[in-house]
Structure 1
């Protein structure tokens, strides 16, 4: 490949995922989870997190796989690490400081928790994160994926014999899926990356499929099915809604924070993978000149995607501070009104974080790369955790 592709629709998809996460958290705070079928569906809006994981799997694995196909070199581990740290750490640190300084915390060892959260290891000590930071569990998993990805891509190169062999790549991804299922069946920790490998693997699979298509050699039956499906976004979303409805039944467990059985965890893993994969697919393998693609590339929607990481980080801090101040009662509030208020204020706060923290740091990193003579550009503007 001579030019690097762009996937503008993925920015908008990132925005959708972040807003969905805000919705499920405000529904929990308002007590809406207990309100029948709609309450269960509101709980299942946690599917925004698997969407983020699918996006990360695709966007971060794509450059490695593209270079495997072309035989070119790739960024060193140091450069990769600098970009990942610059992408997530500054906004994360600001959010941690705001949460621990402004949100009333439960009694406990204050100073150790400051260190544990600032250094991103608190979740591995206690699954009950401080108030205002409960959403960060998924960021911890995302960081674990960042750390594991170079080793995983090295393994892919070894398995493929340093040649582009997509079938071997898919076999490797199948092995990771089996590892994920085995991890759940063995009742091992849900606070570890192996419990979520399938969601990242869906994104990596899409990267393999896109590279096969772009190289002109992808003519297999499975790839034809994927491209046909991606060209019909309405069907993709309809199927995603059907899978989401199935996930909103007792098959995936209760609409609460109660532990799930092994079977419920497996069903959650698979159904959320289906939902996330279907909604992302049209923006990866679908036609770039369709009405859907143009709608997903709308500048204002893409901008919401650019600030989605800041929105993800800050919205629970906003919820914890603003909801009581405006008279909303915990577990007894209007969920729609609470969602609208928290989303509006969180978007404003996210815009500030993006302009004052996130964007300047990323621009500094890009200037540093240009100064060093780096000529390769990322395939998309940002990814979440």
Structure 2
């Protein structure tokens, strides 16, 4: 399905408030499975046992960058489209309720399972429970509870959700008009803040606080900015008969999915070299961390771009296949629940940490996570989303962020 609106000479701008991007559903599944794979590879010791391939497995945490680019695109596009149409943004309270109901129910279930069932979490205090349930672990400690270590990225997502209305107020004001250069200026500022945080500010903060500042939102604003930039290009292309060259260049590149994904793979291979820092949990130098951050921004952007702009063809047909899209719909639950499932797999099989059996651990974790995620999607996610939609005023057209592919989350996500 084309995501672009037709322009008729003399007609009003054909900016769509809620276009469909079916390929992006599948890309959420790609992100979730990449995160799952890097965690199983760590537990089995495959990071160390396969040389360069092991390092490449460690770089599959690129899934987090995919989530953040998707969240930046999907959530900002509604604001930019409304500005282009000179409409006010949706009320902040409604936006916040939908974000809360989208992510918190499954997260809370995961916290309860992890803290109750994983032996390493035995003896968790009331304060530990409260911090985890409020998603404050990364602000209070450098170490997260077992089974919840992936949730640092969800904390980043939530911080982005909270900041986004203010960012969009700065970028577009209240009710437009859309000024692309103003949005671009904001994105440049966010990128500069992110670079400064990774190179210097985050390290200084690390010496002053008990949490983990290098896993806070400022370190990853670049990834969200890539998604916001794509949203701006998409809206401008629908709004203007003669859009800027930069937007046209992005569209043309996005219409070449093979080239985009080939470049993404090449840059991911570069990220698996020492220029992007160590594979294991050793501290990177600031320059290595920034290099990895920027490489991931380009890799994730190149993977997502065809999902925004690619027209009809084999790429869109394959990635819009309903079973693959369904994996995207349950990807948030996969992301949340795969680590508790991984701990269960390690316990039931008796495989030691770093003791090999990587493929078996991966396969059992994938199968267990798919079952757990399907149950969570049907029993927790969908009821919560139905409740969120019942809170909408009668007859209101759905906004882009209401679409079923929205996580993040992805963060993880989204």
Question: Normalising to structure 1: TM-score of the pair?
Answer: 0.96
TM-fit CA distance, 1:107:
6.5
- Matching of residue 100 in structure 1 with residue 115 in structure 2: yes
**RMSD of Structure 2 on Structure 1 (CA):** 1.6
Question: Does the residue aligned with 2:120 lie in a helix, a strand or coil?
Answer: coil
CA distance in 1, matches of 2:145, 2:300: 28
**Structure 1 stretches of at least 4 aligned residues deviating more than 4 Å after TM superposition:** 106-109
Alignment of 1:1-385 (within 5 A): 1=15, 4-35=18-49, 36-105=51-120, 110-158=125-173, 162-188=176-202, 189-287=213-311, 289-371=312-394, 373-378=395-400, 380-381=403-404, 382-385=406-409
Flag structure 2 segments of 5+ consecutive residues without an equivalent: 1-14, 203-212, 410-414
CA displacement 1:96-142 (0-9 Å, x = unmatched): 00000000125765221111101111221112110010000000000
Q: Tell me the distance in 1 between the aligned counterparts of 2:78 and 2:167.
A: 13
Q: Is this contact kept in 1: 2:75–2:400, CA < 8 A?
A: no
Partner Cα separation in structure 2 for residue 206 and residue 242 of structure 1 = 21
Show structure 1 runs of 5+ residues with no match: none
Question: How far 1:272 moved relative to its partner?
Answer: 0.2
Q: Distance in 1 between matches of 2:232 and 2:97?
A: 25
Deviations 1:49-97 (A, max 9, x none): 0000000000000101111111012210110010000000000000000
Indicate conservation of the 8 Å contact 1:184/1:195, yes or no. Answer: yes
Q: 1:221 to 1:2 in 2, by over 3 A?
A: closer
CA displacement 1:189-235 (0-9 Å, x = unmatched): 21321110000000000000001111234533322321221111011
Contact 2:172 2:179 (C-alpha < 8 Å) held by counterparts = no
- Contact 1:124 1:191 (C-alpha < 8 Å) held by counterparts: no
* 2:88–2:175 CA contact under 8 A, matched in 1: no
Normalised by the length of structure 2, the TM-score is 0.89
SS in 2 for 1:260: coil
* Partner deviation per Cα, 1:143-164 (whole Å, 9 max, x = no partner): 0000000010011124x99422
Could you tell me whether the CA contact under 8 Å between 2:17 and 2:81 is conserved in 1? no
Q: Give the superposition deviation at 1:376.
A: 3.0
- CA distance in 1 between counterparts of 2:328 and 2:124 reads 36
Indicate if the aligned counterparts of 2:234 and 2:247 stay in contact, CA closer than 8 A: no
Q: 2 CA distance for matches of 1:6 and 1:216?
A: 20
**Count of aligned positions:** 382
Q: Is the 8 A contact 1:209 1:218 kept in 2?
A: no
